Every structure is written in structure tokens, then in C-alpha cells.
């Protein structure tokens, strides 16, 4: 496979695409926090110190909120004019107030609202099941789905009143489901087309096509080269995400449950924050392996770079765009239309690119009916991506084995 890597990176276009991919990977996070990195770090430190003080003093979330309200009622302008006042957490009195306010929200979430919200959710599903069973023709799938969700939400989740950093919404949106995915998809398509059409553009196919075994052995090496290159790029992106988040937003306590982050409050699964990052990387690799497999099948059949690109790029890019466009439409709409929601949920099972937005699968009990049984939508999408990768790779393998020219 060493020669396949040499052939791949002998192209200037591949180096340009790699530089574009890594450059865009850095540009998007910097654009989101440009000029505010120092402020965000100070905000995270102030929040963490205020939370630690509240816990050590045994103050509840409501007590800390009352203290913050009392603090702000004295007037921040007067405090700022008072040269004898030294901010305790932030650099200004308003920074102290915001740190206490954020800490009170965290304490109230951990101490009260998390358990009560999940208990209310379970109570609603129990009532819904009781009502459904009284119907002349009860929906057995709905009953099974509720029962499975009740079992998941009844498990104890040990949250702690500690800091996991701040601004988790911005932290997530910087690196997930962004336009960088389009650049990564284009890189996978271009390098696959480059690998599988090089013999035809150089005329070497007259030699390598003399043996079915030779051609299929080349296919395996080319396919693995493309997958390993994509995996390396995605691994660098994952490491950069962790380092950047730790440096700017304050990323700590990764062993805590994922539900420690309020945006994952209704996640039904036993998953730590570190586990979230751990499964995100292989799922992304699986998504782009499916893109490479589809491109390899198209290229093995077309055998020409322009034809292969003309087919592969629109198919893979439009698949990613379809999910994002529907996500945007549904997010902007106060009352999502059932037709759009149904299409979106179907695409999140069938399109491998949906795996790049892991958050959408973990903010609630998200399942679909498989022969009347509830199956997590994330598992369905991962299985569909595996099936697409296997079928397309096998199709490309056998298509490449056809001897088109004898020596």
C-alpha cells in the first residue's frame, strides 16, 4: 500500500485539498470565537470558581440565585465606581454577577430540575400507555416504545455540582454538522477518484488489466488507502476539537455523565462525556467510509475521472445538504410540518452523512419501528451505513475484476 499512498500524494490537487480541509477545519472555530477566546476563558474560570465556592459553603441553587439578585440590586454602576471593591470571580462586578447566575443555574439543574423533568417525562409516558391500552385497537409499537423509554429514563444518573466548561452550545456547533463536512466529503470523493482512475489516465491499465487477481488486489489496496487517509484526517480533527475546546471553552470532568450538559438532559443512554467523544470519531469514519465506497463503485464502473466526479460529487454532497436543509427548516419553524419531519427522520436512517450530527440522536429517546419493535435511530443509521459500505465496496470489487483488455 505504500505505492498507493505515493501515487495519491503525487498529485498537487490532493495537497491543495488537504490544505483546504485542514485550513477550513481551523477557520470555522476561529470565526465563531474570533476575538473572544480570552473572554471565554475568563468566563469559564469565573463560573468554575463561583460554583466551587457555592458547593463548599453548602449553598443551594435557589440560595445562590437569591445572592446574585441581591448583588445586582445594589447596582453594578455604583460598585464599579467604588475603588475599594475588588471583583471576586470576574474582572468586573458584572462578571461576578454572571458567574453566580450561571452557577445557580447549574446547581438548580443538578439538584432539582434534572430529576423532576425526567420524572415528569416518565409519568407522562405511563399515563399515555394506560390510555393507549384502553383503546379498542391499541398501538402495540407505541406501547413497546414507551415501555423501553420508561426503562431507560428510570435509571439513576449521578450528576455532580461541578464545572464541565461553559457555552456547550457554541462549543458543539463549532465542530459539528458544519460546512466543514462538505469539504471533507469532497476530499473523500476526489482522492477515491484519483486512486481508482490513475491507471486509465496514465495508460497503465493495458498492463494491470491482464489479470483479474491483479486488478482486485489493486482495488483492495486503493480502497484501504482511501479509508486510512480519511480516518487520519478525521482523527486529527477530533484531537484538534478536544484541544481547542479545552483551551478556549474549558473542557473538564469528561468522566461525568453526558446528561451533565443541560442540552443532553433528555438523553436516555448511560454515556459519559468522554464516551460521547469516543463514539463520535468511529461514527464519522463510518460515514465517510460509505462515501468512499459509493465513489469506488461509481469509479470502477465509469473508469473515467470526469464521469466519476460528475456522478459521485453531486450524489454525496446533495445527500449531506438534504439533511442539513431539512434540519434548518425544522429548527426555524415553530410548528414543524409532519411531512418534513417524516422525511428528515427517514433520511437520518438511510443517509450515512447523518452520523456527523450525533447530537440529534441523543437529545431524546429517538427510535423507529422495525417490524413493530422500537429500534434506536442511531443504531439504524449506523447499520445502514455499514450495509451501504459493504454493498458498494463489494460491487466495486467485482466490477473491477472484469478483464477489459488482454495483454
Which stretch, 57-71, 147-161, 316-330, has highest mean pLDDT?
Answer: 147-161
User: Partners of 368 in the beta sheet?
Assistant: 375
Give the residue, 102 or 74, on which the prediction is more confident: 102
Contacts of 294 (CB under 8 A, 6+ apart): 312, 315, 316, 388, 392
Give the CA dihedral 117, 119, 122, 123, nearest 10 degrees. -110
Phi-psi domain of 372 (left: phi exceeds 0; alpha: psi -120 through 50; beta: other)? left
**Distance of alpha carbon 194 from alpha carbon 132, whole angstroms:** 57
* Residue 98 near residue 48, CB atoms below 8 Å: no
The mean predicted confidence, pLDDT, of the chain is 83
The stretch 222-249 carries a mean pLDDT of: 90
Q: How many residues does the chain have?
A: 407
Contacts of 394 (CB under 8 A, 6+ apart): none
Give the residue, 397 or 252, on which the prediction is more confident: 397
Nearest to 253 by CA among 379, 160, 171: 160
- Residue 377, classed as helix, strand or coil, is helix
pLDDT of residue 405: 45
Of 14-18, 62-66, 238-242, 368-372, which gets the smallest average pLDDT? 62-66
Half-sphere CA count of 115, side-chain side, radius 13 A? 10
The single-letter DSSP state of residue 258 is G
Sequence-ordered alpha helix ranges (H) in 134-211: 140-153, 168-173, 180-202, 205-208
End-to-end CA distance of the chain: 24
- Residue 246, classed as helix, strand or coil, is helix
pLDDT of residue 359: 87
Q: List, for residues 236-260, the tens digit of each pLDDT value.
A: 999 998 888 888 877 778 889 999 9
pLDDT of residue 173: 74
Of 60-74, 85-99, 328-342, which gets the smallest average pLDDT? 328-342
* Residue 197 near residue 306, CB atoms below 8 Å: no
Sign of the torsion angle spanned by Cα atoms 40, 358, 273, 145: positive
pLDDT of residue 200: 61
**Distance of alpha carbon 155 from alpha carbon 269, whole angstroms:** 9
pLDDT of residue 267: 92
- The answer on pLDDT for 406 being more than 50 is no
Half-sphere CA count of 262, side-chain side, radius 13 A? 19
Confidence class of residue 387 from pLDDT cuts 50, 70 and 90? very high
pLDDT of residue 407: 39
**Distance of alpha carbon 82 from alpha carbon 80, whole angstroms:** 5
**Distance of alpha carbon 121 from alpha carbon 261, whole angstroms:** 18
The single-letter DSSP state of residue 112 is I
Which stretch, 45-54, 135-144, 198-207, has highest mean pLDDT?
Answer: 135-144
- E strand intervals along 242-391: 367-370, 373-376
**DSSP state letters, 333-363:** -SS--HHHHHHHHHHHHH-GGGGG-THHHHS
Sign of the torsion angle spanned by Cα atoms 71, 76, 80, 82: negative
Return the CA Rg of the chain. 26
Nearest to 159 by CA among 259, 59, 56, 50: 259
Sequence-ordered alpha helix ranges (H) in 35-139: 37-56, 61-73, 76-81, 93-108, 114-133
Nearest to 39 by CA among 95, 78, 87: 95
Give the residue, 333 or 180, on which the prediction is more confident: 180
Give the residue, 96 or 189, on which the prediction is more confident: 189
pLDDT of residue 308: 85
Q: List, for residues 164-215, the tens digit of each pLDDT value.
A: 776 777 777 778 767 888 999 999 999 999 888 876 655 555 445 555 556 6
- The answer on pLDDT for 90 being more than 80 is no
**Distance of alpha carbon 179 from alpha carbon 23, whole angstroms:** 13
- The answer on pLDDT for 291 being more than 90 is yes
**Distance of alpha carbon 117 from alpha carbon 159, whole angstroms:** 14
The stretch 304-314 carries a mean pLDDT of: 87
* Residue 101 near residue 49, CB atoms below 8 Å: no
Amino acid at each position: 500500500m505504500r505505492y498507493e499512498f505515493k501515487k495519491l500524494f503525487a498529485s498537487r490537487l490532493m495537497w491543495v485539498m488537504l490544505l483546504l480541509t485542514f485550513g477550513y477545519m481551523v477557520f470555522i472555530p476561529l470565526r465563531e470565537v474570533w476575538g473572544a477566546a480570552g473572554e471565554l476563558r475568563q468566563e469559564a474560570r469565573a463560573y468554575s470558581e463561583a460554583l466551587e465556592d457555592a458547593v463548599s459553603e453548602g449553598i443551594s441553587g435557589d440560595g445562590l440565585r437569591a445572592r446574585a439578585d441581591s448583588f445586582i440590586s445594589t447596582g453594578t454602576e455604583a460598585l464599579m465606581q467604588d475603588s475599594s471593591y475588588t471583583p471576586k470571580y470576574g474582572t468586573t462586578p458584572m462578571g461576578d454577577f454572571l458567574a453566580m447566575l450561571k452557577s445557580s443555574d447549574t446547581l438548580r439543574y443538578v439538584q432539582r430540575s434534572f430529576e423532576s423533568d425526567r420524572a415528569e417525562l416518565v409519568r407522562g409516558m405511563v399515563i399515555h400507555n394506560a390510555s393507549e391500552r384502553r383503546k379498542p385497537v391499541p398501538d402495540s409499537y407505541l406501547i413497546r416504545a414507551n415501555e423501553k423509554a420508561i426503562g431507560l429514563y428510570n435509571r439513576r444518573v449521578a450528576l455532580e455540582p461541578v464545572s464541565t466548561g461553559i457555552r456547550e452550545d457554541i462549543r458543539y456547533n463549532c465542530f459539528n454538522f458544519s460546512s466543514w463536512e462538505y469539504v471533507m466529503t469532497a476530499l473523500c470523493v476526489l482522492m477515491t477518484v484519483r486512486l481508482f482512475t490513475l491507471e486509465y489516465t496514465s495508460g497503465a491499465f493495458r498492463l494491470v488489466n491482464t489479470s483479474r487477481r491483479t486488478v482486485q488486489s489493486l482495488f483492495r489496496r486503493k480502497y484501504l488507502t482511501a479509508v486510512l487517509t480519511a480516518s487520519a484526517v478525521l482523527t486529527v480533527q477530533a484531537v484538534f476539537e478536544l484541544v481547542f475546546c479545552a483551551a478556549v471553552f474549558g473542557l473538564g470532568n469528561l468522566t461525568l455523565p453526558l446528561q451533565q450538559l443541560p442540552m443532553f438532559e433528555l438523553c436516555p443512554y448511560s454515556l459519559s462525556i468522554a464516551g460521547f467523544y469516543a463514539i463520535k470519531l468511529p461514527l464519522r469514519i463510518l460515514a465517510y467510509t460509505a462515501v468512499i465506497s459509493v465513489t469506488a463503485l461509481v469509479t470502477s464502473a465509469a473508469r473515467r475521472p470526469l464521469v466519476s466526479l460528475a456522478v459521485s460529487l453531486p450524489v454525496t454532497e446533495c445527500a449531506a445538504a438534504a439533511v442539513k436543509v431539512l434540519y434548518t427548516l425544522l429548527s426555524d419553524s415553530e410548528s414543524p410540518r409532519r411531512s418534513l419531519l417524516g422525511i428528515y427522520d427517514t433520511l437520518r436512517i438511510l443517509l450515512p452523512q447523518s452520523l456527523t450530527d450525533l447530537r440529534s440522536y441523543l437529545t431524546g429517546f429517538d427510535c423507529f419501528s422495525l417490524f413493530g419493535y422500537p429500534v434506536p435511530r442511531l443504531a439504524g443509521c449506523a447499520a445502514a451505513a455499514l450495509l451501504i459500505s459493504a454493498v458498494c465496496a463489494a460491487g466495486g470489487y467485482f466490477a473491477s475484476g472484469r478483464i477489459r483488455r488482454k495483454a
